[in-house]
Amino acid sequence: MIQIRGLTVAFGAVIALDALDALLDEPVCGLIGPNGAGKTTLVNLLSGFVPARSGDVRVDDTPLLGMDTARRVRFGLRRSFQTEQVVEDLSVWDNVQAMLDHVPHPLDGSDEQVHRALEHAGLLDCAAVPGAELDLFRRRMVEVAKALVGEPRLILFDEPGAGLDERESRVLRDAIAAIPERFGAQVLLIDHDVDLIAAICTQTLVLDFGRRLALGATREVLDDPAVRQAYLGA
């Protein structure tokens, strides 16, 4: 559960998030809005890459803003990056295994965790392949697998489907949708593809100029005239 109260993030004179209030409490939540609306800023704020000017953010009732990024990772926060952070000369297995150096995990259960994450991401057949030999889709899936080890609590995906073809997007979509049930983590998903959001997110937050334009059940939000006007161009 993500509780946001009066959150303002500014870059100099640019107010990227403007006194935002939101309660996101569904297993898979969507975050949409026009370019420049503040979506990536919210992901950066949650993962500790940008500071808040004011406000309060809690995840599962724990205040986040005082925690540095390393502590947030240990707490269970995960994010995918728009440019994949795959180590070229490490195997797929070792790329995922390396995540465990930063998070709490049982000493004798790490192989099992890596195996489970790779299986979920459909990467078991290329576990031994070095990062350098992976195509875009598999790099993306390595990002997903890395987010799944070490007891994730909240996973943030910022446009994970960008550049993928339709079949690849479907595989990614199914993998993301199944995360809460199989790994116990909440998911916050940013995507331009409204059909994707509608397919797997039960609750959606719409931002526009750093403000909350709508928040609620995804279907209702997408049918909201204000949302259609500002975002869908209807």
Ligand X SMILES: Nc1ncnc2c1ncn2[C@@H]1O[C@H](COP(=O)(O)OP(=O)(O)O)[C@@H](O)[C@H]1O
- In the complex, the residues that contact ligand X under the rule CB under 6 A are 11, 14, 16, 33, 35-41
Classify residue 96 as exposed, middle or buried by CB count within 10 Å of its CB (0-12, 13-18, 19+): buried
Q: How far is the CB of 167 from Mg ion (least distance, A)?
A: 25
Q: How far is CA 83 from CA 18, 79, 101, 142, in A?
A: 27, 12, 21, 12
Q: How far is CA 216 from CA 31, 209, 213, in A?
A: 11, 19, 11
Place of tokens 């339709």: 166
**What single DSSP character describes residue 163?**
T
State which of positions 164-193 bind Mg ion (CB under 5 A): none
CA 100, CA 97: separation in Å to the nearest integer? 6
40 scored as a contact of Mg ion (CB under 5 A):
yes
Shortest separation between residue 21's beta carbon and ligand X, angstroms: 17
Number of residues engaging Mg ion in binding (CB under 5 A): 2
Choose the contact partner of 117 out of Mg ion, ligand X, none; CB within 5 to 8 A by kind. Answer: none
80 scored as a contact of Mg ion (CB under 5 A): no
Do 83 and 89 meet the contact criterion of CB atoms below 8 Å apart? no
35 binds, among ligand X, Mg ion, none (CB under 5 to 8 A by kind): ligand X
CB of 87 to ligand X, least distance (A): 26
**How far apart are CB 39 and Mg ion at their closest, in Å?**
5
* 211-217 and 203-208 strand pairing: antiparallel
80 binds, among Mg ion, ligand X, none (CB under 5 to 8 A by kind): none
User: Which value, in Å, is the radius of gyration of the alpha carbons in the chain?
Assistant: 18
**Residue 22 Cβ, how far from ligand X at the closest point, in Å?**
15
Residue nearest to Mg ion (CB): 40
Q: Answer with the entry of Mg ion, ligand X, none that 49 interacts with (C-beta below 5 to 8 A by kind).
A: none
Quote the tokens at residue 163: 């550049």
44 is a contact residue toward Mg ion (CB under 5 A): no
Comparison of 11 and 87: residue with beta carbon closer to ligand X: 11
Binding site for Mg ion (CB under 5 A): 39-40
